[in-house]
């Protein structure tokens, strides 16, 4: 970064690519960092954390880099190398404490291999318990690296869900993509999660080399039998992946090099047995069933036939959509300026209540959202300190805070 404005220095910086006189220049690869503890804690204070918290998403952390596995569709090895490098347990929990200090109470451990090292999981969870930290969290894991004791201590320290990349319900496909797991290992991992009271998520990839309607149906039956939450992604054969670099060795045809299509949300490949239309239709049928179930749940909300849990899910969805509009359309900024009805009001609480009511009325008109939901959400944001009120004479202005430490 210090050399960003000095183009003459660029050729001497390892690990970058740039244009020079119309041609691409690729410098030698930069060495990976062996001691990750030397890195400073992420500068989360630079992010508008109040907005992240308002949307309700967790904050992610990464506790290691590197992946020793060889899945043919994964680009991870090219980005972080095969050698696994780990952040120390104390440093991980230091970062967790930093996150919690901002009033954030949910964390996602984003690296694929966190639960693969039992001794390290025990260390991290032991450090969490030693410091008396209370929060909820989720993690990713491989089905062949978890056991009951590991999942149990994760559960005891607040982990409520684990996500597994399963990819296929066909044993031959799992071998072809070099996943190196078995159907029995998948069943056992999901069963262990259920036993200790954790939610298991399983994800599957469709459009893999050699895919057919038979393998898709096999995957569908297997996914439905596990007792986990599950979903599908479409194969995105990124540059650097084995499946792309050796595509001639597989029953696969890549149909586009338009990188905007590489979002895993639609089929961009075909096999000898499946067209992209058939792959899309398979996932489309699954999504149709999900949507029908959701529409039934929404009807039950209005007809008062839902369980309390179902109603919470519906209200949570409504709230997320409303908050997304607040953020994406800058509605707090555009609708948050008000004139007091009585400019001589000197009661701070009365000023706050009047300004909040004016804001809610404007939001109700602008978004056509349920008035009660708007008021609950805005009140929550005020109480949490995500939004605050400034007063200039008889004018009041609502604004997002940067985080709970910086207005």
Give the strand pairing for 337-339 and 395-400.
Answer: antiparallel
Reduced to 3 states, what is the DSSP secondary structure of residue 406? strand
**E runs forming strands in 299-400:** 337-339, 387-392, 395-400
The total number of residues shown for the chain amounts to: 407
CA distance 225 to 322: 35
342 pLDDT above the threshold of 80: no
How big is the CA angle at 400 (ends 397 and 403), to the nearest 5 degrees? 140
Buried b or exposed e, range 33-57, using 16+ CB within 10 angstroms:
eeebeeeeeeebeeeebbbbbbeee
Name the range with the highest mean pLDDT among 26-35, 348-357, 386-395.
26-35
Which residues lie closer than 8 Å to 29 by C-beta, 6 or more apart? 14, 15
pLDDT band at 115 (very low <50, low <70, confident <90, very high): confident
Q: Measured on CA atoms in the order 285, 287, 290, 296, is the torsion positive or negative?
A: negative
Q: Is 192 exposed, middle or buried (0-12, 13-18, 19+ CB in 10 A)?
A: buried
HSE on the CB side for 368, CA within 13 Å? Answer: 0
How big is the CA angle at 397 (ends 393 and 401), to the nearest 5 degrees? 130
Which residues lie closer than 8 Å to 12 by C-beta, 6 or more apart? 27
Q: What is the pLDDT of residues 60-70, one digit of tens each?
A: 999 999 989 99
Boundaries of every domain in the chain: 1-31, 44-273, 318-400
**E runs forming strands in 229-316:** 229-234, 253-254, 269-270
The structure's pTM equals 0.90
Reduced to 3 states, what is the DSSP secondary structure of residue 174? helix
Average pLDDT over residues 373-399: 94
Q: Please give the backbone phi and psi of residue 166, each rounded to the nearest 5 degrees, phi first.
A: -100, -40
User: What is the pLDDT of the chain when averaged over all its residues?
Assistant: 94
Number of Cβ within 10 Å of residue 102's Cβ equals 19
Which residues lie closer than 8 Å to 125 by C-beta, 6 or more apart? 153, 154, 156, 157
Distances (CA, A) of 268 to 5, 237, 265, 345: 39, 9, 9, 63
340 pLDDT above the threshold of 90: no
345 pLDDT above the threshold of 70: no
CATH number attached to the domain at 44-273: 3.20.20.70
How big is the CA angle at 403 (ends 402 and 407), to the nearest 5 degrees? 55
What was the pLDDT predicted at 343? 60
């Amino acid at each position: 970064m210090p050399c960003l404005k000095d183009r003459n220095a660029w050729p001497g910086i390892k690990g970058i690519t740039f244009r020079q006189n119309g041609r691409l220049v690729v410098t030698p690869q930069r060495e990976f960092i062996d001691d990750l503890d030397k890195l400073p804690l992420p500068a989360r204070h630079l992010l508008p954390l109040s907005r992240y918290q308002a949307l309700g998403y967790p904050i992610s952390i990464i506790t290691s880099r590197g992946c020793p596995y060889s899945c043919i569709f994964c680009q991870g090895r090219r980005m972080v190398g095969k050698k696994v490098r780990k952040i120390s347990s104390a440093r991980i929990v230091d970062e967790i404490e930093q996150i919690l200090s901002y009033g954030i109470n949910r964390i996602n451990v984003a690296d694929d291999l966190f639960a693969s090292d039992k001794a390290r999981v025990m260390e991290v969870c032991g450090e969490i318990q030693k410091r008396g930290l209370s929060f909820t969290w989720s993690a990713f894991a491989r089905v062949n690296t978890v056991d009951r004791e590991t999942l149990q201590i994760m559960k005891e320290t607040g982990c409520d869900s684990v996500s597994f990349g399963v990819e296929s319900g066909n044993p031959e496909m799992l071998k072809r993509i070099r996943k190196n797991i078995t159907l029995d290992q998948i069943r056992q991992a999901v069963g262990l999660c259920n036993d200790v009271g954790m939610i298991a998520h399983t994800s599957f990839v469709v459009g893999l080399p050699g895919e057919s309607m038979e393998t898709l149906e096999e995957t569908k039956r297997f996914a439905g039998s596990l007792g986990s939450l599950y979903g599908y992604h479409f194969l995105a054969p990124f540059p650097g992946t084995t499946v792309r670099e050796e595509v001639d060795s597989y029953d696969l045809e890549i149909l586009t090099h338009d990188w905007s299509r590489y979002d895993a949300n639609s089929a961009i490949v075909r096999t000898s047995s499946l067209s992209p239309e058939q792959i899309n239709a398979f996932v489309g049928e699954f999504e149709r069933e999900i949507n029908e179930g959701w529409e039934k749940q929404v009807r039950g909300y209005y007809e008062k036939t839902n369980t309390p849990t179902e109603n919470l899910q519906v209200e949570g969805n409504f709230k997320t959509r409303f908050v997304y509009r607040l953020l994406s359309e800058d509605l707090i900024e555009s609708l948050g300026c008000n004139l007091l009805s009585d400019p001589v009001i000197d009661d701070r609480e009365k000023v706050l209540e009047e300004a909040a009511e004016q804001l809610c009325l404007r939001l109700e008109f602008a978004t056509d959202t349920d008035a009660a939901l708007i008021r609950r959400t805005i009140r929550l944001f005020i109480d949490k300190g995500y939004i605050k009120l400034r007063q200039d004479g008889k004018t009041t202005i609502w604004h997002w805070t940067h985080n709970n430490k910086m207005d």
